[in-house]
Amino acid sequence: MDAVLDNLDTFRQGFITTLALTVVSTVLALVLGTLLAAMRVSPVPTLRAAGATYVEVVRNTPLTLVFFFAVFVLPQLDIRLSFFVFAVIAVTVYHAAFFCEAVRSGINAVGVGQAEAARSIGLTFTQSMRLVVLPQAFRTVVPPLINVVIALTKNTSIAAAFGVVELTAVATRLANANSDAVIAIFLGSAVCYLALTLPSGWLAGRLERRVAVAR
């Protein structure tokens, strides 16, 4: 227990890195995923095919491999960024595919009539997506979206193996240094992850109830 309390500051820094990685990647992945979902339902066949290919390739590739690509292949293309940014790229690219599929199921649930009605009163495809279809789609997909957010939070731990000193990396280092307190150290890191994921679950519940009223 002392090993945890003595290193609270190191834990705090790891926690903040994990939090930053989670929040930044979630926002970017949600935007990219929504764009991909819009592509997958667009009237342009090339866009549909591109969206479908992205999803199929990315979601069937292990996240560790995606990390390898970001961390080892991008520098060879003369793209030099910090390990943190590479981690953001890997986590974003991977989870965008899952966000895409969740949002797409919501778009399909809205019904084609809504988009057609929007088109017939003068909206372009992009406007009808942005103003009519997506606002309604998000209401139906809060629970699956939160599932992806929770998975994303936990998946950031893979960044530990790629040079990012986040929660899992901190826990591993401390455990190596204090072999007598391994259990306490990993329990401490588990508590930190719970502090991130449990509020997501609560938020999902609250959003769902609010949306149920507005519908």
Partner 1 sequence: MSILVRNATRRFGDFTALDDVSVEIPSGSLTALLGPSGSGKSTLLRVIAGLERPDAGSVEIDGRDATSLPPQRRGVGFVFQHYAAFKHMTVRENVAFGLKVARRPKAEIRARVDELLELVQLPGLADRYPAQLSGGQRQRMALARSLATQPSVLLLDEPFGALDARVRKELRAWLRHLHDEVHVTTVFVTHDQEEAMEVADRIVVMNHGRVEQVGGPRDLYEHPANAFVMGFVGAVTRLGEHFIRPHDIEVRRQPNGTTSEAMVERLVHLGFEVRADLVLHDGQRLAAQLSRQDAEELELAQGQIVFVRPSRTRQFAEAPAG
Q: Which residues bind partner 1 (CB under 8 A)?
A: 111, 113-114, 116-125, 127, 131-132, 135-136, 139, 214-215
Q: Which is nearer to partner 1, 53 or 127 (CB)?
A: 127
Minimum distance of partner 1 from residue 46's CB (angstroms): 17
Q: How far is the CB of 125 from partner 1 (least distance, A)?
A: 8
Q: How far apart are CB 145 and partner 1 at their closest, in Å?
A: 17
165 φ/ψ sector (left φ>0, alpha ψ -120 to 50, else beta)? beta
- Residue pair 99/54 in contact by the 8 Å Cβ criterion: no
The answer to whether the beta carbons of residues 189 and 167 sit under 8 Å apart is yes
Q: How far is the CB of 103 from partner 1 (least distance, A)?
A: 16
Residue 110 CB, shortest distance to partner 1, in Å, is: 9
142 versus 159: smaller Cβ distance to partner 1: 142
179 CB neighbour count, 10 Å cutoff = 9
Q: Closest approach of Cβ 115 to partner 1, in Å? A: 9
CB of 35 or CB of 123, closer to partner 1: 123
Nearer to partner 1, 117 or 203 (CB): 117
Q: Nearer to partner 1 by C-beta: 142 or 152? A: 142
Q: Distances in Å between the alpha carbon of 158 and those of 41, 82, 169? A: 32, 16, 9
Of the pair 77, 213, the CB lying nearest partner 1 is at 213
